[in-house]
């Protein structure tokens, strides 16, 4: 297993005020933090649910488990850590029969992972090509770029990075293999894209690094499995919130919550509902919440963060066209 740099305790959680206001945790409630990371959101939730509450923290990164151990004695609620992918952990909790009042996910990569140069997540540092959130898993970025077929690499970069130069980047990666370090990958990307793209707005490697990280950690499939499991665990009136950082995540969250607030699934040409479907959720955000200019100034990485949330409804509650309770 790779040697880990310990996560620094100086961690500012993104959209913290907005998340707490949206979730509105109450004393004695059960909360699940699906992406514990540095524990910033969890500390704020713990203050609200108090000593009568229960906090369950999930993270696949062993460094997050170290951080949890450091904080556990300071948390008022009964606290428990689960090491692993949040989708699998939520399924386990569902199968245990656990029910929660508050569940939230802060998706993507944490600042602590990004700033730990040896983890290989950043194009700003020269480091081994790794990108594994769980260093114990087999697949790394190095294995992906060196062993996967060029066509498959191009598909990953195009689909997960929404990169228009995906084919030429994959071709250059294939030509230069083996690639063992992030700096080598950055140079391959620079060589593959037009000069205007190289020196334009944003780093030319940003989309490719995002795509490889998503593929290595199976992030989108994990999210697709986690959302329905989380919804099953929620009690009536329970709240689910998700902070996403790019459109691929946000679209999935929007679709999932929208499906539950809509209720009726009849074709739009039918004059009346015949399916009998009822809304399962009330939207807590008509539009995704974004970081304020002040937060972006303090923490530039928050600029792409988007927060969506919904409340689970008992049966028989009516909502309007935007999923708000009428």
Number of domains within the chain: 2
Q: Are residues 205 and 253 in the same domain?
A: no
pLDDT at 8 (0 to 100): 46
H-run or E-run covering 248: helix 247-262
7 pLDDT band, cuts 50/70/90, is: very low
Boundary of a domain, candidates 217, 239, 258: 217
Q: Are residues 83 and 199 in the same domain?
A: no
For the full predicted model, state whether its pTM sits above 0.85: yes
273 pLDDT band, cuts 50/70/90, is: confident
178 cis-preceded (ω within 30 degrees of 0): yes
326 pLDDT band, cuts 50/70/90, is: low
pLDDT, tens only, 13-59:
999 999 999 999 999 999 999 999 999 999 999 999 999 999 999 99
Contact 143, 43 (CB under 8 A): no
Residue 9 has pLDDT above 90, yes or no: no
pLDDT, tens only, 141-174:
999 999 999 999 999 999 999 999 999 999 999 9
Q: What is the CATH number of the domain that holds 156?
A: 1.10.150.170
pLDDT at 3 (0 to 100): 41
Burial annotation 111-140 (CB, 10 A radius, 16+ → b, else e): bbbbbbeebbbbbebebbbbbbbebeeeeb
State the Cα–Cα distance between residues 29 and 16, nearest whole angstrom.
Answer: 19
Which residues are CB-contacts of 158 (< 8 A; sequence separation ≥ 6)?
166, 167, 211
318 pLDDT band, cuts 50/70/90, is: low
Q: Tell me the residue range of the domain where 212 lies.
A: 136-217
Contact 171, 151 (CB under 8 A): no
Contact 134, 215 (CB under 8 A): no
């Amino acid at each position: 297993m790779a040697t880990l740099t310990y996560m620094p305790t100086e961690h500012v959680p993104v959209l913290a005020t907005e998340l707490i206001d949206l979730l509105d945790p109450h004393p004695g409630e059960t909360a699940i933090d699906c992406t514990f990371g540095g524990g910033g959101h969890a500390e704020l939730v713990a203050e609200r649910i108090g000593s009568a509450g229960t906090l369950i923290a999930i993270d696949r990164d062993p460094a997050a488990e170290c951080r949890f151990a450091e904080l556990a004695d300071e948390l008022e609620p009964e606290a428990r850590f689960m090491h692993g992918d949040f989708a699998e952990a939520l399924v386990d909790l569902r199968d245990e029969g656990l029910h929660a009042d508050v569940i939230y996910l802060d998706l993507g990569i944490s600042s602590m992972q990004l700033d730990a140069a040896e983890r290989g997540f950043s194009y700003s540092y020269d480091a081994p090509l790794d990108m594994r959130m769980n260093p114990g898993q087999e697949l790394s970025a190095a294995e992906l770029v060196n062993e996967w077929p060029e066509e498959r690499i191009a598909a990953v970069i195009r689909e997960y990075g929404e990169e228009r130069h995906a084919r030429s980047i994959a071709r250059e990666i294939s030509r230069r293999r083996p690639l063992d370090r992030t700096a080598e990958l950055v140079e391959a990307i620079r060589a593959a894209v037009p000069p205007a793209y190289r020196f334009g707005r944003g780093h030319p490697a940003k989309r490719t690094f995002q795509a490889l990280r998503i593929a290595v950690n199976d992030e989108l499939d994990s999210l697709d499995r986690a959302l329905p499991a989380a919804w099953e665990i929620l009690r009536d009136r329970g709240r689910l919130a998700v902070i996403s950082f790019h459109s691929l995540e946000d679209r999935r969250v929007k679709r999932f919550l929208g499906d539950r607030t809509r209720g009726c699934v009849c074709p739009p040409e039918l004059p009346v509902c015949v399916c009998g479907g009822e809304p399962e959720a009330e939207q807590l955000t008509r539009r995704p919440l974004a970081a304020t200019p002040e937060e972006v100034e303090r923490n530039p990485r928050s600029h792409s963060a988007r927060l969506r949330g919904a409340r689970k409804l008992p049966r028989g509650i009516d909502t309007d066209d935007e999923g708000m309770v009428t």
